[in-house]
Amino acid sequence: MMDSMLEKQVTEKEWVRESRFGRWFLTTNIWYQYVLSQAIIEFKQLLNNSLSRPSQILDAGCHQGLAFELLEQYFQPKTIIGVDIDKELIRFAPKAATRCECEVKCENGTVYNLNLPDSSIDVIFCHQLIHHLSDQSAALKEFYRVLDSGGVLLIGESCRSFINSLFVRLFFRHPMHVQKSAEGYVELVRSHGFIIRDEDIKTSIPWWSRTDYGLSEKIGLPQKQREATEVLLIARKP
């Protein structure tokens, strides 16, 4: 029953499933250490102690649940709720949950239609999800609905300058018509009623998103001004 409901929603919103390589790459240490852990460390720095202990964190698009342990370590929530559309990935999440002391609930579902009451979540961790969504606006409306007033949406995205690169186009799959610059993501999130202060935005060009993997900078060659490949932002529901 649940599967057929999910299939209907997914067909409506055209789920572009990640490539086999992409699904595997997210289980590597490169992803865990340099992308996922680094993002959580930087979110913590950006938050600058402004976040009190959350009751419920939603990990939106949680993949196999690799962030659960990090979210517990850095934010000490009472409960983590992991949701992912891909049932082949989410079936591994309960195993990741056993490494946490807090309660963790894992659900196969879509962020377009979350199985959560209005205003029930304090923090949404939304890492590298939005650029995978054909209907980004529908997800942001749903995040706004489930987030409590004063709640925080942590968004980390790869920008179009990276998603359009040859390597990413060859090995990963994305809905290409919705890719945005860092400024585009900020605008999109603000347009759904969230407050983002300028100091709550961080853009970067990490080594793994460069065509030469940061080699030319390492050996001291002059760097061209380039468009940001990554953006982190902290959005608040008023």
Ligand X SMILES: C[S@@+](CC[C@H](N)C(=O)[O-])C[C@H]1O[C@@H](n2cnc3c(N)ncnc32)[C@H](O)[C@@H]1O
Tokens standing for residue 29: 């240490």
Secondary element (H or E) of residue 10:
helix 2-13
CB of residue 31 vs ligand X: minimum separation in angstroms? 6
CA dist., res. 15 & res. 147, Å (int):
24
Among residues 89 and 189, whose Cβ is nearest to ligand X? 89
Among residues 31 and 236, whose Cβ is nearest to ligand X? 31
Among residues 36 and 233, whose Cβ is nearest to ligand X? 36
| Cβ-contact 58, 81 below 8 angstroms | yes
Amino acid at 232: L
CB of residue 158 vs ligand X: minimum separation in angstroms? 8
Sites of contact with ligand X (CB under 6 A):
15, 18, 26, 36, 61-63, 66-67, 83-86, 89, 110-112, 127-129, 132-133
CB of residue 221 vs ligand X: minimum separation in angstroms? 31
CB of residue 171 vs ligand X: minimum separation in angstroms? 13
For the CA atoms of 219, 28, 75, 38, the dihedral, rounded to the nearest 10 degrees, stands at: 10
CB-nearest residue to ligand X: 61
Among residues 129 and 231, whose Cβ is nearest to ligand X? 129
Among residues 137 and 223, whose Cβ is nearest to ligand X? 137
CB of residue 68 vs ligand X: minimum separation in angstroms? 11
CA dist., res. 134 & res. 15, Å (int):
7
Tokens standing for residue 92: 């591994």
Tokens standing for residue 157: 């995205």
| Cβ-contact 236, 153 below 8 angstroms | yes
Among residues 18 and 122, whose Cβ is nearest to ligand X? 18
| Cβ-contact 59, 39 below 8 angstroms | no
CB of residue 111 vs ligand X: minimum separation in angstroms? 4
CA dist., res. 180 & res. 160, Å (int):
5
Tokens standing for residue 44: 């913590």
